[in-house]
């Protein structure tokens, strides 16, 4: 992989620092529940489809009392897309060289009243450069207060940059996190964005604020719900909901496809899958 330029290095450093703070925040919640659970970090290296070194990443995973399974991964990869996949990536049609760095997080919670969550932000370069990502809440048992708080925090992050962002990006999330064969949404939404290009500083600042918004609001929701009593019926709802989550991630998620098509680490790519799910 080629040496990183200033923009690529800045993005990589930010994603890794955000990873560290998120993991520390989640471990702190485990301590509050009397658990000594901690993240286990596993580095991995990528080989480009042509056989050359292509970067890598670190897979972080924790299993605890509050977080049944949470993965917080960072990766920095580069090289060349396969000829077939390059056709689907902006700026790679004529030159398949690429660079990508980002953070990806999925948390599946032990208590069915605590929502699962997904957050991902990334910076990609081909002959073009852009940021993408977002965050979305995925409760098996939706609680309106939590949904409103999550959206309000993302709305504030968007408003600090562009008044059109939240209406557009929340709608994009609504459309993206849809399971066509079930005719249902994966969760209660959030924001989703891609191909923010042309203004590195502004779009990098927005991407950082998305990460900060997530780190602010999600631990608040977890602490509010993690001691709520639940029933066997609640657990049944959770397991069936997780089945829908699995279906979306394996059939429609762009990140899953990108990781598989670029030779990413399989365990890191599939860390989004819950430890238990049920289909009827």
Q: Which residues are catalytic?
A: 118
Query: Token pair for residue 101?
Result: 């760095």
Radius of gyration of the chain (CA): 18
Rounded distance between C-alpha atoms, residue 84 and residue 73, angstroms: 27
* Neighbour tally for 191: CB within 10 Å: 25
3-state secondary structure the chain: CCCCCHHHHHHHHHHHHHHHHHHHHHHHHHHHCCCCCCCEEEEEEEECCCCCEEEEEEEEEECCCCEEEEEEEEEEEEEECCHHHHCCCCCCCCCCEEEEEEEEEEEEECCCCCCEEEEEEEEEECCCEEEEEEEEEECCCCCHHHHHHHHHHHHHHHHCCCCCHHHHHHHHHHHHCEECCCCEECCCEEEEEEEEECCHHHHHHHHHHHHHHHHHHHHHHHHHHCCCCCCHHHHHHHHHHHHHHHHHHHHCCHHHHHHHHCCCCHHHHHHHCCCCCCCC
């Amino acid at each position: 992989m080629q040496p990183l330029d200033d923009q690529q290095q800045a993005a990589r450093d930010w994603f890794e620092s955000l990873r560290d703070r998120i993991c520390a925040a989640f471990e702190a919640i485990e301590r509050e529940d009397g658990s000594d659970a901690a993240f286990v970090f596993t580095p991995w290296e990528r080989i480009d489809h042509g056989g050359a070194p292509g970067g890598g990443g670190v897979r972080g995973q924790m299993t605890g009392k509050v977080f049944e399974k949470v993965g917080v991964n960072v990766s920095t990869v580069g090289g060349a897309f396969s000829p077939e996949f390059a056709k689907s990536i902006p700026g790679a049609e004529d030159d398949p060289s690429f660079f990508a760095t980002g953070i990806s997080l999925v948390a599946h919670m032990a208590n069915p009243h605590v929502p699962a969550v997904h957050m991902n932000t990334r910076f990609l370069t081909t002959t073009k450069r852009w940021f993408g990502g977002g965050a979305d809440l995925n409760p098996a048992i939706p609680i309106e207060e939590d949904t409103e708080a999550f959206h309000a925090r993302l709305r504030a992050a968007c408003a600090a940059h562009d008044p059109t962002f939240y209406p557009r990006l929340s709608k994009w999330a609504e459309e993206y996190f849809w399971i066509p064969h079930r005719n249902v949404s994966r969760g209660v939404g959030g924001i989703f964005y891609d191909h923010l290009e042309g203004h590195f500083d502004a779009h990098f600042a927005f991407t950082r604020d998305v990460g900060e918004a997530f780190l602010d609001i999600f631990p608040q929701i977890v602490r509010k719900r993690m001691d709520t009593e639940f029933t066997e019926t609640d657990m049944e709802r959770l397991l069936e909901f997780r089945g829908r989550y699995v279906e979306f991630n394996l059939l429609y998620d762009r990140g899953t496809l990108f990781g598989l098509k670029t030779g990413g680490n399989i365990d890191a790519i599939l860390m989004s899958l819950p430890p238990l799910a049920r289909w009827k």
